[in-house]
Amino acid sequence: MAKDKNSKDGKKNTSLRLESKTLKALKIRAIEEDTSVQQIIEKLINNYLDGDKKKK
């Protein structure tokens, strides 16, 4: 059985369903900022979670 290539860094896969135009805009923005869609989404989620901690 093949090993999960992400197992070393503790990351897991997930999937999202986005509107086509949203995903296209996100990909373009990632290219413009020399980053990846994954990095943008992870940063947004972490910011969201950090904000949630401040409210408690």
How many CB atoms within 10 Å of residue 30?
16
Asked whether residue 40 is assigned to any structural domain, the reply reads yes
CB-based contact 29:41 (threshold 8 Å):
no
pTM for this one? 0.73
Asked whether residue 5 is assigned to any structural domain, the reply reads no
For residue 39, the enclosing domain spans 19-55
Asked whether residue 3 is assigned to any structural domain, the reply reads no
The confidence score (pLDDT) of residue 53 equals 72
Asked whether residue 7 is assigned to any structural domain, the reply reads no
Domain count within the chain: 1
pLDDT in 10s for each residue of the chain, 56 residues: 455 555 678 999 999 999 999 999 999 999 999 999 999 999 999 999 998 776 65
Asked whether residue 28 is assigned to any structural domain, the reply reads yes
CB-based contact 37:30 (threshold 8 Å):
yes
Asked whether residue 36 is assigned to any structural domain, the reply reads yes
Asked whether residue 31 is assigned to any structural domain, the reply reads yes
The confidence score (pLDDT) of residue 1 equals 46
